[in-house]
Structure 1
Amino acid sequence: MNNYAHILVAIDLSDEADSVLKKAQAIAEANHAKLTMVHVIEPLSVAYGSDIPLDLTALQDEITQQARDRITQLTNTIHLEKGNQHIVYGRPEREVHRIAEESEVDLIVVGSHGRHGLALIFGSTSTGILHAASCDVLAVRVGKKTH
Structure 2
Amino acid sequence: MKKIIVPVDFSEHSNYALEAASILAKKYNAEILALHMLEISETILTKGETALQDETVFFIKLAEKKFNEFLEQDFLEGINVTPIVKHFKVFSEVNDVAKEQNADMIVMGSHGSSGLKEIFVGSNTEKVVRHADIPVLVIKNKPTTLSFDNVVFASDFTEKSVTPYLNATKLFKTLGSKLHLLYVNTPGDNFNSSQEIEQTVADFLTKADGDLSQLDNVKYVADYTVEKGVLNFANVSGADAIAIATHGRTGFTHFLSGSISEDIANHSSLPVITFKIK
TM-score bracket relative to the smaller structure:
0.7 to 0.9
Are 2:65 and 1:39 equivalent residues in the alignment? no
TM-aligned CA distance change 1:91 to 1:50, over 3 Å? closer
Render the CA deviation track for 1:119-147: whole Å, top value 9, x for unaligned. Answer: 5444x11101111111110111159xx99
Unaligned stretches of 5+ residues in structure 1:
none
1:29: how far off? 1.1
1:97: how far off? 0.7
Q: Which has the higher contact order (CA 8 A, sep 6+)?
A: 1
Aligned to 2:60: 64
Alignment check: 8 A CA contact 1:44 1:60 kept: no
User: Which structure: larger Rg?
Assistant: 2
Alignment check: 8 A CA contact 1:111 1:140 kept: yes
Aligned to 2:110: 112
Map 1:70-109 → 2, pairs under 5 A: 70-77=66-73, 78=76, 84-109=82-107
Unaligned stretches of 5+ residues in structure 2:
143-266, 270-278
State the identity %. Answer: 20
Alignment check: 8 A CA contact 1:39 1:86 kept: yes
Cα distance in 2 for partners of 1:142, 1:63 equals: 30
* Aligned residues: CA RMSD: 3.1
The number of aligned residues is: 136
Aligned to 1:137: 136
TM-aligned CA distance change 1:59 to 1:114, over 3 Å? farther
Render the CA deviation track for 1:35-92: whole Å, top value 9, x for unaligned. Answer: 21110011112xx69679xx6777655543332221101223225657x210010134
